[in-house]
A and B are shown apart, each in its own frame.
Chain A
């Protein structure tokens, strides 16, 4: 971990965007209808833009001359700070949609709060990102509602995806020393406030979608401190292939 909590925080925000972009970008050409190819590509593009802002800021704070690209393509898996939710498998569209929804529903209130950050740079990045993310949430909420309250099969698939992924939502709202340090400075919100908002939002959204969040599940942790699931190593290996095979070249 970095001694500077702001670096850690920027890496967390940026890595969430990077890993999720890598996952949703892969759907282009493989989604159930061409409109979804287009929509997921849009989300991926927004997230790559946000990745550049957050990781660019982390690199500057670090002061070792590492760019956003260096951080994306040249760190090993233990240095990634994304939450476990975004690295979950990408092989089913229902799960990809549910993962997006569970993330967007956190990302949006988080960025909204960060627009009021005492750290001007964070506020600026959040200001730019929140506009894009409000569209992401609108889309994922809409699809979750329609598919949850759709056919028996679509309902079952969305419920199964929710059952599987819900256990990764707790991490996003469980504060550690980094979150506490930023909240103490007014640079980031108290995660308990985000948790309250998330819970209320989910209650109404899931009810509308006729879905039920599982109760009493163990909430998995680890991504924020670099202890990931096995999946992430493969994802990173694929993403970094060119930079590892041809080090130091310009493309």
Chain B
């Protein structure tokens, strides 16, 4: 997934004793792993947290088209071009399912888009980094989609039915995306010295932002605690980040790439890779809107929205005309 720092109620989860009977019945269903469906009663905080999380995820898919779309016109071969278009198209499709999943919670797609454009809703900060070379398309698929899968696999177990089902479908496509990214990196590493350099440079630039995708440590986050109690987000940020590092470091080594962190080292005792401290200042700066491409990404989405207004209104006008004609004929 591409949601980081989703705010929940801001309070610690209630104990069963503190809950109203309705809340208790709801929590009991969650604890028994019974999915919650759109028409059922749910605490307002659950609904709002889910809307935030699902819409942030949807926006990330849609904004995520931009850095990769940046290379559709310049893909080096016809096959690479087709694969990249198919991939970016999948992201658009994911955005669509997710907007639909959010709509089941009583909010419209247009409202959600307005929240994105006004900056009220966030999208994953990873897409505020630029795609500068063809190798970035490899790195994005391998690392960014790799981190996304790590997150989404656990979200297949999310307590909210429509989101969980959307995740099952999305995960299948994301694993293809990750493989295509790694395949690009592999081809580069098998190639000329300048191709290898291009691949290493892309890894250097995308490694740390990819680790940031999991969000800050959840040791003391009340938002995470509540989301975990509601099984909106079954696994914590730190654990997911560790899984990602454990999976990715050997993949890098296998093709001769070096992860740009001198502290990366296998820890026999923990059974995991150790890794260095993330620059959280950079994370918060990008989140606040001062990343390399925040303005450009929002400007592109705003332009698509503004330039498309006539199109959306034209279709609505036509459908009203048709309905009126049908009525007149009856």
Residue of B nearest to A97 (CB): B311
Given A31-B304, A72-B78, A26–B310 Cβ distance below 8 Å? no
Residue of A nearest to B195 (CB): A249
B74 at the interface (CB under 8 A from A): yes
A-B contact count (CB 8 A): 149
| Alpha-carbon gap, A73 to B318, bound state (A) | 42
B321 at the interface (CB under 8 A from A): yes
User: Does the CB pair B69–A29 fall under 8 Å?
Assistant: yes
User: Does the CB pair B92–A41 fall under 8 Å?
Assistant: yes
One of A79-87, A115-123, A145-153, A196-204 contacting the partner: A145-153
**Per-position contact with A for B298-328: 1 when CB-CB < 8 Å, else 0?**
0010011101111111111111010000000
User: Does the CB pair B195–A41 fall under 8 Å?
Assistant: no
Given A31-B308, A34-B96, A45-B85, A147–B77 Cβ distance below 8 Å? no
* A69 cross-chain contacts in B, Cβ below 8 A: 77-78
Given A93-B308, A246-B194, A249-B192, A29–B65 Cβ distance below 8 Å? yes
Chain B, interface SS category: helix
**Per-position contact with B for A49-68: 1 when CB-CB < 8 Å, else 0?**
10110000000000000001
One of A165-173, A177-185, A223-231, A237-245 contacting the partner: A237-245
Given A28-B65, A34-B96, A150-B315, A49–B310 Cβ distance below 8 Å? no
User: Does the CB pair A242–B85 fall under 8 Å?
Assistant: no
How many Å from the CB of A153 to the closest CB on chain B?
Answer: 5
Interface bin, chain B = 35 or more
B66 at the interface (CB under 8 A from A): yes
User: Does the CB pair A147–B74 fall under 8 Å?
Assistant: no
Residue of B nearest to A209 (CB): B318
B73 at the interface (CB under 8 A from A): yes
| Alpha-carbon gap, A243 to B80, bound state (A) | 12
A35 at the interface (CB under 8 A from B): yes
User: Does the CB pair A32–B80 fall under 8 Å?
Assistant: no
How many Å from the CB of B298 to the closest CB on chain A?
Answer: 13
* B96 cross-chain contacts in A, Cβ below 8 A: 34-35, 38
A205 at the interface (CB under 8 A from B): no
- Write 23 A-B pairs (CB below 8 A) sorted by A numbering: A25-B72, A28-B88, A29-B66, A29-B304, A30-B303, A31-B304, A31-B308, A34-B96, A41-B92, A48-B85, A52-B78, A93-B307, A93-B311, A150-B315, A151-B313, A151-B314, A151-B317, A153-B310, A153-B314, A238-B73, A243-B76, A246-B195, A251-B184
Residues of A within 8 A of B (CB): 21-22, 25-26, 28-38, 41-42, 44-45, 48-49, 51-52, 68-69, 72-73, 92-94, 145-147, 149-151, 153-155, 157, 238-239, 241-243, 246, 249-251
Known: A151-B313, A151-B316, A153-B314. 19 other contacts (CB 8 A): A22-B73, A30-B69, A30-B300, A32-B308, A32-B312, A37-B92, A44-B85, A45-B85, A145-B318, A147-B311, A150-B318, A151-B314, A151-B317, A151-B318, A154-B313, A154-B314, A238-B73, A238-B74, A251-B77
